[in-house]
Chain A
């Protein structure tokens, strides 16, 4: 999967990595195999916590909204927020706090202004797409945003986007997704540091 390959490229060998909203630990497991990282997952769902333990990935049960600052001063190199920022109650606070726990942060943002979303909304329906797969009644997403919104928030919070990739629905960069990201990128992937 290109997204994982991309995240791998931004993660240095032996890095100490915290994945906030790590799910079943798949991403950390592959990073561990490829980059020999020191992985820590944060997850609230106990079924997913068991999946992490079964993969031998250390996992911490915590609510990201409430606990990011608990991880301050623990020397993480990289913090990952992969498709979980839109599930947080305070995405702005989370983003500004996240760089107090790690040197760099990798964030992925499903783009609510992708043309498929716009099309479905124009038909009067809540969008269901590859990067927003759940129907409205079953989604954990409470703070959806667009590529443009997210980048404006980064500016407002004084965060520096070191790298960014705009992925189309096939999880790879296309001519259109890089040229007109807010319309053709399904997912924005960012490497963020502080200014």
Chain B
């Protein structure tokens, strides 16, 4: 499946939860399948922290991040459903973010306003209006995308029929925030960072960004998964990226970190980790998750992976319990997951069937 993207421009002001305002914004969007006449077959797909709108099919030779799941006759069947996938504000893949220009033609850099998951949902609501979509058959996402899906169900209960919250939690915990802060610090301390105004100096803090991603990447894998893939295997002399490298796992992280630093923006990295840290839908509801879930009318599915140490099953169950207490229809399914937190990306075990059965109500 070849896919193409489209840039949607919004002239209206977007009031942000921080109290600031975005004076117009843009969303880079990919859609798959066709919206039917009744406009009742739309699915909203939310990407994770460093993901993009490119979820399925091939674009410039690259497969989308959830291509296993999205396409003709796949889990989210594009013959039946119209699937919308938008790059979030603050990211760096085409939607408004630190690398975009403001109204005066000046690059935002570090001055891009503080963003929240709630702001993303508001922006997507305006996108839905533009696409003439009044209800989502399903809102689904993994990790930060799962949190965004939850926020949708809370903020626009009448628009969400079903919500699938995968490898996510109702907040990130202190350890997550701590790790994110180390990642941010590593970026800030790159001598090319210049307080975020690196483009003005004709530099890019790729070293800091690479190191930050290397740390982040470890948190997406599980200890067991790393042991199986790399163990203590030594890196082949010829393919070493660097003379200091001894082990395969080092080479792998260097490679992944480098690849990421070439395409991602350092200010976006800092901003998006802050979005994650700040996510707390219960803040509006006296910090009471049960109260927060009271408004939800969507049927909920929560999926956790046992090997995920960022958002382990206990965090999924925390949402489940609040949903049950609030008398919501909520299912919870747990998989071992061979890839730690990243397991949500792979169509393994009964995980894909669980989503399709939840969506379509049949086996």
Contact = CB atoms under 8 A, between A and B. Distances in A.
Interface stretch (A68-76, A91-99, A113-121): A68-76
Contact of A49 (B324, B325, B330, B333): B333
Interface in A36-60: 38, 40, 46-47, 49-56, 58-60
A9 interface: no
A70 B357 contact: no
Given A49-B354, A60-B332, A75-B325, A54 B362 contact: yes
Contact of B363 (A46, A54, A62): A54
A53 B324 contact: no
A61 interface: yes
Chain A interface bracket (under 10, 10 to 19, 20 to 34, 35 or more)? 20 to 34
Interface residues of B, number: 23
Contacts of A46: 333, 349-350, 354
Interface in B305-363: 317, 320-321, 324-325, 327, 329-334, 349-350, 353-354, 357-358, 361-363
Contact of B361 (A56, A61, A70, A74): A56
Given A60-B320, A70-B317, A74-B321, A50 B331 contact: no
A165 interface: no
Nearest to A55: B361
Contacts of B330: 58
Contact of A51 (B317, B331, B363): B363
A46 B357 CA distance: 12
A16 interface: yes
A99 B225 CA distance: 40
Contacts of B299: 56, 58
Contact of A53 (B317, B325, B331, B349): B331
B363 A40 contact: no
Nearest to A60: B332
A54 B361 contact: yes
A156 B41 CA distance: 56
Contacts of A59: 331-333
A61 B353 contact: no
A131 to B, nearest CB: 28
B333 A16 contact: no
Nearest to A18: B324
B350 A50 contact: yes
Contacts of A51: 363
Contacts of A49: 331, 333, 350, 354
Given A56-B361, A58-B330, A60-B332, A50 B353 contact: yes
Contacts of A58: 299, 329-331
Nearest to B317: A70
B354 A50 contact: yes
Contact of B327 (A38, A47, A60, A62): A38
A164 to B, nearest CB: 29
Nearest to B302: A60
A38 B317 CA distance: 19
Interface string B9-41: 000000000000000000000000000000000
A51 to B, nearest CB: 7
A16 B320 CA distance: 15
A58 B299 CA distance: 9
A75 B323 CA distance: 12
B324 A40 contact: yes
Contacts of B301: 53
A40 B327 CA distance: 10
A61 B327 contact: no
A53 B303 CA distance: 13
Contacts of A50: 350, 353-354, 357, 363
B333 A74 contact: no
Contacts of A38: 327
A74 B324 contact: yes
A178 B12 CA distance: 75
Nearest to B304: A61
B357 A53 contact: yes
A46 B354 CA distance: 9
Given A50-B354, A61-B333, 11 more contacts: A46-B350, A49-B354, A50-B353, A53-B358, A54-B362, A59-B332, A59-B333, A60-B320, A70-B321, A73-B325, A74-B321
Interface of A: 16, 38, 40, 46-47, 49-56, 58-62, 70-71, 73-75
20 contacts: A38-B327, A46-B333, A46-B349, A46-B350, A46-B354, A47-B350, A49-B350, A50-B350, A50-B363, A53-B331, A53-B354, A54-B357, A54-B361, A58-B299, A60-B320, A61-B332, A61-B334, A70-B321, A73-B325, A75-B327
